[in-house]
């Protein structure tokens, strides 16, 4: 289940309201591209600025739209409050999500023991497959491989980790320790799969899902010559999609190709003019037609 291409979906807004029509179109495009699964309300989905009601609605909508397509749904249900994470995770299970993605608690910076107890408490309360999400650039804390191993040994429903630490040594250590690892960095997917990662949770696949699917399938099959060619084709675009804080650039990119309004919620704001030009050039170089 935790191998292949998973798209970290944006949450589309129109006049500051969740745009279900655009969301449905987006998910249909993911299905048509052969994406393995979708991840609603993660970092890319602007989860910090969604109300609890909106958060639940986005997950329910994603599950409903993915039903019958063969595409998996991993609901983003992490929080820096353990009780809140348990509540959101229980809702995702009740809604029919296949699994959940749980980010390290942010701002309060727990110790490794605190991380262990946080994730164990959620795993014990809600029987659903859990993917840990290690992203120190967002959370200020890095979960060690030893802590992840301890969790997977004691909690059978903790089954994988999304690795966005940007550290290939950490990836190698995790894979060597027997953990299932998904890349959390588009520009590092092929290098990470070369050392044993099983796929990616991708931002770029919001806009180029077919290309990401092809890259991951080639890498998974050991055809790294072709995977590298696709990696280099996408590399400049992947870097441009992180030229400012995610999801600012991906929403701007989707607006440029006519697939989204580009609306964000404060404190995120629109891409700067200079970076907008750089992103536009990266889209053109990748062969994407602009609206």
Annotated catalytic residues are: 133, 162
Residue 210 structure tokens: 């077919």
Cα distance between residue 102 and residue 86, in whole Å: 10
Cα distance between residue 99 and residue 132, in whole Å: 11
Nearest to 180, CA basis, from 41, 7, 4: 4
Question: Residue by residue, what is the 3-state secondary structure of 70-110?
Answer: CCEEEEECCCCCHHHHHHHHHHHHHHCCCEEEEECCCCCCC
Cα distance between residue 184 and residue 198, in whole Å: 11
Nearest to 129, CA basis, from 150, 157, 104: 157
User: 162 forms bridges with which residues in the sheet?
Assistant: 133, 182
Residue 112 structure tokens: 């490794």
The string over 124-152, giving b where at least 16 C-beta atoms fall within 10 Å of a residue's C-beta and e elsewhere, is: eebebbbbbbbbbebbebbbbbebbebbb
Report CA-CA distances (Å) from 82 to 121, 127, 155. Answer: 8, 16, 16
Match 């739209």 to its residue by tokens. 65
Residues composing the chain: 291
């Amino acid at each position: 289940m935790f191998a292949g291409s998973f798209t970290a979906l944006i949450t589309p807004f129109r006049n500051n309201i969740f745009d279900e029509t655009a969301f449905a179109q987006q998910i249909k495009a993911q299905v048509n591209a052969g994406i393995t699964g979708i991840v609603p309300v993660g970092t890319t989905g602007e989860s910090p600025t969604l109300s609890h009601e909106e958060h639940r609605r986005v997950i329910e909508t994603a599950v409903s739209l993915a039903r019958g397509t063969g595409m998996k749904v991993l609901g983003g249900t992490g929080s820096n409050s353990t009780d809140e994470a348990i509540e959101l995770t229980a809702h995702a299970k009740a809604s029919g999500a296949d699994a959940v993605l749980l980010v390290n608690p942010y701002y309060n910076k727990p110790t490794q023991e605190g991380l262990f107890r946080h994730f164990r408490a959620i795993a014990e309360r809600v029987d659903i497959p859990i993917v840990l999400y290690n992203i120190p650039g967002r959370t200020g804390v890095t979960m060690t491989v030893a802590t992840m191993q301890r969790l997977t040994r004691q909690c059978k429903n903790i089954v994988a980790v999304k690795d966005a630490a940007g550290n290939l040594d950490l990836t190698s250590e995790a894979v060597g320790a027997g953990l299932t690892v998904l890349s959390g960095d588009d520009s590092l997917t092929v290098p990470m799969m070369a050392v044993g990662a099983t796929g990616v949770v991708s931002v770029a696949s919001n806009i180029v899902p077919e290309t990401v699917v092809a890259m991951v399938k080639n890498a998974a099959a050991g055809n790294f010559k072709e995977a590298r060619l696709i990696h280099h084709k996408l590399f400049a675009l992947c870097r441009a999609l992180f030229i400012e804080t995610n999801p600012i650039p991906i929403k701007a990119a989707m607006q440029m190709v006519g697939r989204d309004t580009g609306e964000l919620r404060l404190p995120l704001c629109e891409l700067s003019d200079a970076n907008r030009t750089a992103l536009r050039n990266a889209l053109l170089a990748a062969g994407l037609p602009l609206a």
